[in-house]
Amino acid sequence: MIFITYIKDISKDTYETLVASDISKYLDTGFSVSLKPNLVVPGPASNGAVTHPEVVDGVIRYLKDFGVKQIKIIESSWVGDSTLRAFKYCGYEELSLKYDVPLIDLKSDSCSTHNHSGLDIKICNEALNTDFLINIPALKAHCQTKLTCCLKNLKGCIPDSEKRRFHTLGIHKPVAALNAIIKTGYCVVDGICGDLTFEEGGNPVTSNRILAGRDPLLIDSYCSMLIGYHPDDIEYLTYSKKIGIGKYYSDETDIVELNTENKIITGTRYPNIGDRYRSIIDEDAACSACYSALIYALHRLGGRSGTNNKLCIGQGYKGKTGTKTGTGSCIGIGTCTQGFETYIKGCPPKAVDIIKLLKSF
């Protein structure tokens, strides 16, 4: 089961996502709970690289209201950067003071060696010595692994020397093995404005949603489709499925959507990214989640739609057919364009499905 909330107030909507979710089945007030955001670099979350502090704010408020007393935030930024700087510049020092929640820099933590699938992996003890780990990644693309979300976010739970070694081992199998050793209690994904191409940020694409659920592989496989990949395109997802981390998203997966009224974001603009493709898009009152799927798809296709027809998207196309004066026949993107002769269903559609349709031309 995956819970998806379309956001307006990040902290409030994150809190309400957890209230509506099934996390209470797995929590206990006596648990020690560790929160693992993605703070790969020091910088604002609006750049598309790091977890919004407001998301973690909503998680902390939920835990405190639930009755959890022991909460900490754990993280290790990427090799060569300072976690302490990231805590400061990403807004986490303020969170720590506001809620009296300690910040743990895993770069200074002790570690122990554990084995899975024939791999010895050094893991920071703080990541293991907790009753319940809440994984709070930023959903974004990655220059090497294509996707980074729940599973890969746990790479921040190993020492820098091990991060380097993961790359020499090919990264995919070690990431899967790591997730077999570190048990995730729950996932809360920041899908607000993840980067289009690179884990360091700079090319954010607004999607305005939070995703939550118990199974990190289920969520990652679904998120891979949101940004234009089949789960088997991501090697560490394939390995994770093989060793029993969880299951892939399928048409039978229960998707619970919350705050659907917040999908309506008229006239959304995507500086530096959407402008590249605006000449082939006719947008009329498009929701950000729908529009972002189209942007991810076009980027994966190298900016080519495969057709000379316009791509029509948005609520303004409800009840209309696929012909626009002066442009010829249009291809519809999303359920709002279901009156078109050719359209891709979904509210929002997945980028992987848009790619499949456009490749057919």
Over the stretch 39-80, which tens digit does the pLDDT of each residue have? 999 999 999 999 999 999 999 999 999 999 999 999 999 888
Q: Residue 312 above 70 pLDDT? A: yes
Average pLDDT over residues 126-144: 95
Q: By CB neighbour count within 10 A (0-12 exposed, 13-18 middle, 19+ buried), where does 85 fall? A: middle
Distances (CA, A) of 185 to 134, 151, 272, 337: 6, 12, 37, 39
Q: What is the pTM of this model?
A: 0.90
Q: What is the pLDDT of residue 120?
A: 96
Q: Distance between CA 135 and CA 310 in Å, rounded?
A: 40
SS3 state of residue 343 = strand
Q: Where are the domains of the chain?
A: 2-261, 265-359
pLDDT tens, 194-248?
998 878 788 888 899 999 999 999 999 999 999 999 999 999 999 999 999 999 9
Q: Is the pLDDT of residue 286 over 90?
A: no
pLDDT score at 325:
41
Residue 148 confidence (pLDDT): 95
For the record, the structure tokens of 289 come out as 């989640």
How far apart are the C-alpha atoms of 294 and 281, rounded to whole Å? 9
Structure tokens belonging to residue 231: 């789960």
Question: Distance between CA 336 and CA 291 in Å, rounded?
Answer: 12
Q: Report the helix count and the strand count for the chain, using DSSP H and E.
A: 13, 18
CA dihedral (123, 172, 46, 204) in degrees, to 10, reads 180
CATH for the stretch 2-261: 3.40.50.11440
